[in-house]
A = this chain, B = another copy of it.
Amino acid sequence: MYGLNELSSSDLEAYRAALRRDFERVRARTEALVAPLSAEDCQIQSMPDASPTKWHLAHTTWFWETFLLKPMRAGYETPDPVYDFMFNSYYEAVGPRHARSRRGMVTRPSLEGVLSYRAFVTDAMGRFLDETEEAAFAKAARLIETGLAHEEQHQELILTDIKHALYQNPAKPAAYPRPPTAGGAPASGWTTFEGGLNEFGAPATGFSFDNEHPRHKVWLEGFALANHPVTNGDVRAFIDDGGYRTPALWLSAGWAQVQAEGWDAPLYWEKRDGAWFEHTLHGEQPLDNTAPAAHLSYFEADAIAEWMGPRLPTEAELELAAAAAPEGRSHVAGACAHPAAASDAPLGGFYGEVWQWTTSSYGPYPGYRRPKGAIGEYNGKFMSGQYVLKGSSCATPPGHARATYRNFFYPGDRWQFTGLRLAKDV
């Protein structure tokens, strides 16, 4: 959305062609994720924070309709005006919307109907991209980039939400077949970073969200980061040492949640006859001790860091370190089985394994102002009560994340692929 410079006409056409290809690719990838699921799987909402797969399919389509086709494509008509009410997520400026916690109650349109709605809008957007005047395209381009990033975010949510949905089933079925895993011992040791006054936040060029701006200076002392995320084996040791029963390790609000919800292990873990298992997108599997631990709330990440020592990193520390991180591994749809990081590069597993909690509350950067209008509701209004996570997870679409990307969740949220990496002062 930020930093799209004025381009020459031929550059603009090349850019248009690239966006056209990205659009086709992203839309197709969303549908590929859903292909192995049944109409029933796509219907349900397992908790208020999650959404039905069908809703994700429709909402990502509603976005194109609402922000691109309706305002910019003359003569565009929606297949059904009720969709505007049904598939709005949280944009107050766009009008009233269906209650979030009741999304699973909408059985019609059916999955088939939603796929038709997608095809209709994909086609209309394709023609818009092909046919629109240069000036109009230039005006639309930033919104299209936002729409692509938005749909990719929902691709990750489709995976986390269907995992939670199928977990409700006593048979704990698989969403996807199990991919071949190429595990191995995680990297060891620490990588050290010098402190000083550095700039953070997204540069003026290339796509980024509003919350990554403006670029600003932060002073950091020197620090070091562990070369791999905390593993399942580490968390087992925490459990075995009574970590979930020791209030001194926990933040006060975290300890309250441990007690209220009876937490005694990460979400999806279950111990039977002395052996640990984990519900995955491929059904229940024996727990892999060398894999990075996932589905940890901030409260758990903080308590584990308090127990392992020394501490969690800050957002700025992880952003500074991102330069040392190898490229994210490539992913295939549904390949998310928390494989161990085979890489022994410094800072292994920064991308593509688990989102890494930071101690930084999700707030505005110095100089940030919430944009006006519906699109301004995208990020700014969520800036209270959440923590920033950096990197990306095994469920993140390839190429989606970047060093300045700010993911954010509430400290009690556990259903995302969230873990931690230790930090220390040097």
Contact = CB atoms under 8 A, between A and B. Distances in A.
A90 interface: yes
A288 interface: no
A304 B411 CA distance: 27
A304 B115 CA distance: 44
A98 B253 CA distance: 18
A69 to B, nearest CB: 21
Contacts of A93: 248
Contact of A108 (B40, B219, B361, B370): B40
A381 interface: yes
Contacts of A44: 43-44, 104-105, 107
Nearest to A425: B367
Interface string A252-264: 1111000000000
Nearest to A102: B168
Interface residues of A, number: 71
A170 interface: yes
Interface string A368-390: 01101000110001111100000
Interface string A297-323: 011001000100011001000000000
A105 B165 contact: yes
A316 to B, nearest CB: 10
A173 B385 contact: no
Interface string A82-116: 10011000101100001000101111101100000
B170 A86 contact: yes
Contacts of A110: 38-40
Contacts of A382: 251-253
A265 to B, nearest CB: 21
A369 B424 CA distance: 11
A108 B171 contact: yes
Contacts of A165: 105, 107
A254 B384 CA distance: 9
Nearest to A167: B105
13 contacts: A39-B40, A40-B40, A40-B108, A86-B170, A92-B255, A104-B104, A108-B169, A108-B173, A197-B219, A221-B367, A248-B372, A252-B382, A253-B384
